[in-house]
Amino acid sequence: MQPTRLSRDHRRQQILECALPLFARHGFAGTTTRRIADAAGISEALLFKHFPTKSAIYAAILADICSADPGLERLRAEPPSTRTLALIVRGMAHYFMTAADGSEAEGNQKLRLTLGSFVEDGEFAKILFDKVEQIIAPIFIDSLKHAIEVGDAQPGLAGPRDLFWFAHHTVCTLAATQLPSLPSLDYPPLARLEREVCNYILRGVGLTDAAIAAHAALDIPFESFESSVLEFAK
């Protein structure tokens, strides 16, 4: 049969794209180079002409995925406000829930790799979290501080930065329970669950019930975190 001849960069990229779902689903040890080669439609030999070791493929995937979070950076320009805070929480919840839902989604595989990273050395999770802390956390923190000044929120025991991560943690495991084909926990339908967990988080963060109610109008259907941000940016 005729082999499809690709340029070096294209082939490399194709290998990574084919390997990602395998590593995400079966972990590092559970993924063989033979299966990666099969998925990419090439021989193992060619695989090892592009990457010196199996570990190198894994590392390249983790590096790639860390530097690809489009749409989030748009939020950085938004003014700190209670509304922005509610929007971030809502967007975060939606992002994680859709990640768990669509088995082919990019977020799904990112979540799987993150959970796997916890069990291993945690390095991937650390890199990813560093990036999140730089990009999203500041807006959250400023918005929460603003909400406290305005009287929409009451200061709590934990600082805004820790509260941001607590919010993240809540939706992270929540999404994880819905990740397997057979969810580990029964929950109400996604749309309702999303609103429930937002309510919990906003309360936990210190927002008053009045402030939460005032921003319940945000409960418009979002297509994705990015699109919600775009919508708000109008």
Partner DNA sequence: CAGATTGGTAAGTGAGTGCTCACTTGCGCA
Partner DNA sequence: TGCGCAAGTGAGCACTCACTTACCAATCTG
- Residues near DNA (CB under 7 A) are 2-8, 11, 31-35, 41-46, 48-49, 52-55
Select from 2-10, 11-19, 81-89, 158-166 the region that touches a second copy (CB under 8 A). 158-166
Query: Look-up: residue for tokens 């009287």?
Result: 151
Smallest gap from Cβ 195 to a second copy, in A, equals 6
Contact set for a second copy, span 16-55 (CB under 8 A) = 24-30
Q: How far apart are CA 121 and CA 90, in angstroms?
A: 30
Select from 1-9, 11-19, 72-80, 113-121 the region that touches a second copy (CB under 8 A). 113-121
Smallest gap from Cβ 16 to DNA, in A, equals 14
The 3 state secondary structure assigned to the chain is CCCCCCCHHHHHHHHHHHHHHHHHHHCCCCCCHHHHHHHHCCCHHHHHHHCCCHHHHHHHHHHHHHCCCCCHHHHHHCCCCHHHHHHHHHHHHHHHHHHHHCCCCHHHHHHHHHHHHHHCCCHHHHHHHHHHHHHCHHHHHHHHHHHHHHCCECCCCCCHHHHHHHHHHHHHHHHHHHCCCCCCCCCCCHHHHHHHHHHHHHHHHCECHHHHHHCHHHCCCCCCHHHHHHHHHC
Smallest gap from Cβ 127 to a second copy, in A, equals 9
Residue 185's binding partner among DNA, a second copy, none (Cβ under 5 to 8 angstroms by kind) is: a second copy
Nearer to DNA, 56 or 233 (CB): 56
Smallest gap from Cβ 161 to a second copy, in A, equals 10
Smallest gap from Cβ 160 to a second copy, in A, equals 11
Among 205, 207, 224, residue whose Cα is nearest residue 216: 207
Smallest gap from Cβ 7 to DNA, in A, equals 6
Select from 6-14, 43-51, 83-91, 189-197 the region that touches a second copy (CB under 8 A). 189-197
Site residues, a second copy (CB under 8 A): 24-30, 112, 115-123, 125-126, 129, 154, 156-158, 162-163, 165-166, 168-174, 176-177, 179-185, 187-188, 193, 195-197, 199-201, 203-206, 209
